[in-house]
Structure 1
Amino acid sequence: MDLIDLVILISGLIFLCLWWRYSSTTGGGPKNLPPGPRGWPLVGNLVQVILQRRHFIFIVRDLRKKYGPIFTMQMGQRTMVIVTSSQLIHEALVQRGPEFASRPPDSPIRLVFSVGKCAINSAEYGPLWRSLRRNFVTELITPTRVKQCSWIRTWAMESHMKRLNSEAFDNGLFVEVMSSCRLTICSILICLCFGAKISEERIKHIESILKDVMLITSPQLPDFLPILTPLFRRQMREAKELRKRQMECLVPLIRNRKAFVEKGQNPNSESEMVSPIGAAYVDSLFGLEPTGREQLGEQEIVTLCSEVISAGTDTSATTAEWAMHHLVLNQEIQEKLYKEIVAAVGKDGLVKEEDVEKMPYLDAVVKETLRRHPPGHFLLSHAAIKDTELGGYSIPAGVHVEFYTAWLTEDPDMWSDPGEFRPERFLEGDGVDVDVTGTRGVKMVPFGAGRRICPAWSLGILHINLLIARMVHAYKWLPVPGAPPDPTETYAFTVVMKNSLKAVILPR
């Protein structure tokens, strides 16, 4: 540790001591916060969590049993109010949606990639967020736009099936599900964003960089003890270097598309640009002037397009893999789904987008997958726009309000045999009429709820349904002999399989 680091550390400790002394004397803000575990001086519950060497969700489950459906943790300088009950989640996100629709402050590393929170997910609740979200919904997920861009999914699905054939031939009939699904979803989203068809190698390069962005922006020690941020200069340098690489791989797509739009060219299957002018998300960003900001530049456009690609790729591919995991393990469910698909399109037909909308059992399989394996155990952090209350407790403006939604899908009071994978529950049982948007009530909210619900959730469901229907229609999926699927979870940006699913595929 050099001299400047030592000075920073000593200054930080002095500041924390004064801050703790103030907090101990004054209570550190509004009284009547939800109850929670007593913390240590200076660091609150942060070191206690680290020393347990368990994933945070297991600690939250234990604290829920002790303190009830809403409790507080003091993680360094970050106050976290954790909400776990269906009633309180629905009250906060739906009934009083605008009050809890903001975001807490971002860490310095996150701000590098969000360009000062100029992103739909991270923008504070207000004019900027409304402008960005309204533009996204209008330009990417209206029924007219979805139908106009259906050819992109047709192209990507054809490539997906060819890739499975090739991989099975090379590996001796078995394939790895996740890598192929990620590549397919990523290629769809890149084409939707930039109106371009690019090579698989280039797609993999973009996917790899955006995955690194998600990893480097995950919570780190300075997020909880900002006073120590100067000690993490190396991490900040790495973040800036990664941002440079992110710009280098996406800016050429932006510039090529902009030149294409300015010249008023027609799409050409022999060139990179294949979507007509106005059909790519980035087209709408070139002249956009969101409320409160000037016209968007390349930095902001890279951030917004990266957000679409990253969020859509991980959640959709992860859900598809978990669904196939259960279909491999339960051949009866797989056969029932196959019969529904054949009844809709025939044995030798082609599954189209309008077909999957008429497959109730497919819908039930996907919903049960989202119930058993929600993409995240927590929603993205929320914040109250002003001092308010929830569940009879004070919620100060700006604190991190964390909604632990995975518990809902495990609650035996809400679901019968919640640990079982049983799609039929959504056809005749406790899943009938469940609203996955949480509007009518909260039993499962895989995409969030209220003002901050994922705006592209219906598009994600379409991609998942198409992937599963195409794969089950074309192949019978079986366990690899001697190596059954491993259900162990691990926690990245989404909750993923620790060991990627490998399965034997036999042509139908």
Structure 2
Amino acid sequence: MSLLTLIVYACITGVAAYVLLNLRTRHAKRLPPGPTPWPIVGNLPHLGTIPHHSLAALATRYGPLMHLRLGFVDVVVVASASVAAQFLKAHDANFASRPPNSGAKHMAYNYQDLVFAPYGPRWRMLRKICSVHLFSAKSLDDFRHVRQEEVAILTRALVGAGKSTVKLGQLLNVCTTNALARVMLGRRVFGDGSGGGDPKADEFKDMVVELMVLAGEFNIGDFIPALDWLDLQGITKKMKKLHVRFDSFLNTILEEHKTGSGAPSGHVDLLSTLISLKDDADGEGGKLSDIEIKALLLNLFAAGTDTSSSTVEWAIAELIRYPELMKQAQQEMDIVVGKDRLVTELDLSQLTFLQAIVKETFRLHPSTPLSLPRIASESCEINGYNIPKGSTLLVNVWAIARDPKMWTDPLEFQPARFLPGGEKPNADVKGNDFEVIPFGAGRRICAGMSLGLRMVQLLTANLVQAFDWELANGLDPRDLNMEEAYGLTLQRAAPLMVHPRPRLALDVYRTR
């Protein structure tokens, strides 16, 4: 059978399935409103190049609960806090699993990871391991010195940059990666941590960004199974190629630990714990395999580094655009911390304006603008509409945080909205207030939320306290490009290129 014949056969099969599907749903219970789907591809053309933007625009026409048909898959999209609470709180158990997708299959070791694992005993085991050994309050406190040491290394690297232009996001990524690696592996993965000209650091950053971009793509094969084998967009090929690179990176780390050439002697880190659990399973999901260990490391490196570094990059970009806010934050630092030492994690609870800056950054620039997809285990009714079994749920976190019905001047960067007297003084970002849920909510809320919050706050605080910032090439802050690049995480379209100017005595940067 020729390739052309196979393609024709696949198209005929698709048309027949599409007609049958529409005949079935014509008499089904009432679905949420949404744009009319095209034949075969459904509403895939409506997603555009930046889906969270396109879906937000559609929500202004069809409402905060929309139904789309992407290929042959029912998809519901949520764009308001009240509707999000219905799904992620009232019906959370029904939407606790992930739908099948090519990213989990080809990059995340065929669903053997924590992020995409089906809800059940194995997922609970992996979640428990992370909660107990990495993200518990005790673990976070025990490794506080690691984060502070890595941030101090970053500040010294920025001081050492002199009048050179630095790509801030790259240095932030090196810092977050090394801080996480020291907890996970007992050692840095990038040189001395400065990241200056380190080709391994550049390659790792590129790998993580590529993973997030590919994971955020709407792969036609996921929605039209008959076309999956054709890989029309070339996404599957890219995923498999990237997986080989990541697997090689993780294999090296795993083998070094097994042979004792990785972490320092006597050091107890997460990977050592995971290796010990291969023979002594923790919880109800059975013993850990090498693949599950690598899949978990992949999750932690990907989700725990780029999300934090990109959020801090957005925060500094906003403060450069609004120098009066930068000055206000620096004044708070000088009063609370002083100018003779660098800010530490123990200071963060007293820095109310800094915390408001971080919350406002999470609101305007959520690291995951479209929530990771969930799937309806059973049919249910929400707001009078039927949500069919097997529907994919997407929560447009970006749109919810810019809802003009919930926020005054929603497109403006205004940290004061989170201060006493502001419109949302008591709002948090930990999944309890659905107006701003950068880490998600419910059972599938980001496992590393507490670590992410601490890292973002500490990094932002140090960069605000320790430096004044100028844009490269004399660019006026009002002309700074704030466009977004689409991926699973919210990257800047143009990296932030800056000149850091130390504002403290030089010996302060050497004291930590």
Provide TM-score, normalisation by structure 2. 0.89
Q: Match of 1:112?
A: 106
Deviation at 1:396, TM superposition (A): 1.8
Q: Match of 2:491?
A: 496
Q: Match of 2:471?
A: 479
Judged with a 3 Å threshold, the aligned counterparts in structure 2 of structure 1 residues 286 and 239 are, in CA distance, closer, same or farther, namely: farther
Q: Match of 2:195?
A: none
Distance 2:244 2:325 in 1: 47
Judged with a 3 Å threshold, the aligned counterparts in structure 2 of structure 1 residues 479 and 239 are, in CA distance, closer, same or farther, namely: closer
2:81 paired residue among 67, 83, 86: 86
1:441-490 deviation digits (Å, cap 9, x = unpaired)? 42111110111111211211111111112122221123342353222222
Judged with a 3 Å threshold, the aligned counterparts in structure 2 of structure 1 residues 90 and 122 are, in CA distance, closer, same or farther, namely: same
Q: Match of 1:230?
A: 229
Partner-residue secondary structure (3-state), 1:494: coil
1:140·1:281 contact (CA, 8 Å) conserved in 2? no
Q: Match of 1:264?
A: none
Within-5 A mapping of 1:235-254: 236-254=236-254
Q: Tell me if 1:15 matches 2:13.
A: yes
Judged with a 3 Å threshold, the aligned counterparts in structure 2 of structure 1 residues 89 and 409 are, in CA distance, closer, same or farther, namely: same
Distance 1:237 1:423 in 2: 43
Partner-residue secondary structure (3-state), 1:27: helix
Q: Match of 1:213?
A: 211
1:278 paired residue among 253, 268, 280: 268
Q: Match of 2:173?
A: 182
1:408-456 deviation digits (Å, cap 9, x = unpaired)? 22222222222221212211211201132232x4211111011111121
Judged with a 3 Å threshold, the aligned counterparts in structure 2 of structure 1 residues 278 and 390 are, in CA distance, closer, same or farther, namely: farther
1:341-360 deviation digits (Å, cap 9, x = unpaired)? 22233211122221123211
Partner-residue secondary structure (3-state), 2:231: helix
Judged with a 3 Å threshold, the aligned counterparts in structure 2 of structure 1 residues 295 and 7 are, in CA distance, closer, same or farther, namely: farther
Q: Match of 1:165?
A: 159
Distance 1:97 1:410 in 2: 23
2:122·2:286 contact (CA, 8 Å) conserved in 1? no
1:285-323 deviation digits (Å, cap 9, x = unpaired)? 542547786533322222111111111212111110111
1:10-40 deviation digits (Å, cap 9, x = unpaired)? 2211211221231233228953221222222
Judged with a 3 Å threshold, the aligned counterparts in structure 2 of structure 1 residues 368 and 255 are, in CA distance, closer, same or farther, namely: same
2:274·2:293 contact (CA, 8 Å) conserved in 1? no
Judged with a 3 Å threshold, the aligned counterparts in structure 2 of structure 1 residues 238 and 373 are, in CA distance, closer, same or farther, namely: closer
Q: Match of 1:193?
A: 184
2:35 paired residue among 34, 37, 45: 37
Distance 1:216 1:391 in 2: 33
Amino acid at match of 2:182: C
Distance 1:325 1:503 in 2: 10
Number of corresponding residues: 488
Deviation at 1:403, TM superposition (A): 1.0
Amino acid at match of 2:475: G
Distance 1:390 1:290 in 2: 37
Within-5 A mapping of 1:384-403: 384-403=376-395
Q: Tell me if 1:438 matches 2:436.
A: no
Partner-residue secondary structure (3-state), 1:506: strand
Amino acid at match of 2:256: N
Judged with a 3 Å threshold, the aligned counterparts in structure 2 of structure 1 residues 28 and 115 are, in CA distance, closer, same or farther, namely: farther
Judged with a 3 Å threshold, the aligned counterparts in structure 2 of structure 1 residues 274 and 338 are, in CA distance, closer, same or farther, namely: farther
Q: Match of 1:128?
A: 122
Q: State the identity %.
A: 29
Q: Match of 1:296?
A: 288
Deviation at 1:84, TM superposition (A): 1.5
Distance 2:406 2:275 in 1: 43
Deviation at 1:324, TM superposition (A): 0.5
Amino acid at match of 2:30: N
Q: Identify unmatched segments of 5+ residues in structure 2.
A: 192-197, 504-512
Distance 2:467 2:36 in 1: 55
The CA RMSD measured in Å over matched residues stands at 2.4
1:64·1:71 contact (CA, 8 Å) conserved in 2? yes
Amino acid at match of 1:184: C
Distance 2:319 2:170 in 1: 18
2:482·2:492 contact (CA, 8 Å) conserved in 1? yes
2:125·2:285 contact (CA, 8 Å) conserved in 1? no
Amino acid at match of 2:428: D
1:407 paired residue among 399, 405, 408: 399
Judged with a 3 Å threshold, the aligned counterparts in structure 2 of structure 1 residues 196 and 7 are, in CA distance, closer, same or farther, namely: farther
